[in-house]
């Protein structure tokens, strides 16, 4: 098999996991290509002796499977590079929570034994696309987790005029608005009071950030519907964050959010169950009054 590897370049203490992974892949006779930035971090900054068959930059790679070593942020960056290539991504968690990157370093050897024997599953996750009228985005317009519209710095709250398929929904007076996929429902959206959405439910969650009204609640819509946002701000500008990548926009910039024409494939162990991940990673449903 051929693997393309991305990694976190800020966790020197956890880099031994990358070394152990590469040694394992070498034993299995895998073809390995590594993101140049990650390779330079391992070799120049950490002085590791790393063998690789190829180095690559940006999205100039091909592989049977992509491996992301880090946390969920590293996984999102890898997903952005994979784009519409259709290559499945395996996340090895050396970060904190690890909801997307959910393979622990202790599970690496067992996981790759399963991969080489074909005992794993691939989940297809929906992606959001952002279109900006009147602005050229600097980064990729695609988000696996969420697209957020936010006020800038300490400026006053913004007004977000929101329409669904051209029909007026609401004007949110708030610090921002988060539009999340089911994958992103357990990320930023959840932290601002959004619902947990089961993967493959074909929905999108719209959740306000610190709304200036008790009558405003999150809403879940079909993912084949189109969302249009027009923003008013006293500072005449606002921020749009695409999976955490922020850009400044002027208030006359109309935003359109729709489901992208491709999915991201996520590798899961064959016995993976979403609800078990909720309980183990997020302590979902935990009750300190019982021993259950």
Residues designated as active site: 72
Residues 242 and 130 sit within 8 Å (Cβ to Cβ): yes
Residues 6+ apart with CB under 8 A from 179: 128, 146, 147, 148, 204, 205, 206, 227, 257
Give CA–CA dist 55/70, Å, rounded. Answer: 19
Report the candidate in 133, 170, 150 with the shortest Cα–Cα distance to residue 233. 150
User: DSSP string of the chain?
Assistant: -EEEEEE-SS-GGGTHHHHHHHHHHHHTT-EEEEEHHHHHIIIIIS------SEEE-TT----SEEEEEESHHHHHHHHHHHGGG---EEEEE-SSS-SSS-B-GGGHHHHHHHHHTT-EEEEEE--EEEEEET---SS--EESSEEEEE--TTPPPEEEEEEETTEEEEEEEESEEEEE-TGGGGTHHHHTTPPP--TTS-EEEEEEES-S-TT---EEEETTS-EEEEEE-TTSEEEEEETTEEEEEETT-EEEEEE-SS-EEEEEETT--HHHHHHHHH-TT--TTS--
CA Rg, the chain, in Å?
Answer: 20
**Tokens 């999976």, residue?**
243
């Amino acid at each position: 098999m051929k693997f393309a590897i991305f990694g976190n370049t800020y966790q020197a203490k956890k880099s031994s996991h990358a070394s152990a992974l590469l040694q394992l892949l070498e034993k299995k006779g895998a073809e390995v290509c590594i993101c140049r930035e990650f390779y330079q971090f391992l070799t120049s900054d950490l002085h590791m002796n790393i063998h690789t068959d190829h180095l690559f930059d940006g999205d100039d790679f091909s592989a049977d499977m992509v491996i992301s070593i880090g946390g969920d942020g590293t996984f999102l960056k890898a997903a952005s590079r994979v784009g519409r290539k259709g290559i499945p991504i395996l996340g090895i968690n050396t970060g904190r929570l690890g909801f997307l990157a959910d393979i622990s370093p202790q599970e690496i050897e067992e996981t790759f034994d399963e991969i080489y024997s074909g005992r794993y599953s691939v989940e297809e996750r929906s992606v959001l696309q952002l279109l900006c009228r009147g602005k050229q985005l600097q980064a990729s317009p695609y988000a696996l987790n969420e697209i957020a519209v936010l006020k800038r710095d300490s400026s006053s709250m913004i007004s977000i005029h929101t329409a669904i398929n051209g029909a007026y929904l609401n004007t949110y007076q708030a610090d921002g608005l988060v539009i999340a996929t089911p994958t992103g429902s357990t990320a930023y959206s959840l932290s601002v009071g959004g619902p947990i959405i089961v993967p493959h439910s074909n929905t999108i969650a719209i959740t306000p950030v610190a709304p200036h009204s008790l009558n405003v609640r999150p809403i879940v819509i079909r993912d084949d519907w189109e969302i249009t946002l027009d923003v008013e701000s006293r500072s005449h500008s606002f921020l749009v964050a695409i999976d955490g990548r922020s850009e400044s926009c002027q208030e006359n910039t109309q935003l359109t959010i729709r489901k992208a024409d491709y999915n991201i494939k996520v590798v899961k162990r064959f016995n993976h169950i979403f609800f078990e991940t909720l309980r183990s990673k997020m302590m979902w449903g935990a009750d300190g009054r019982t021993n259950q």
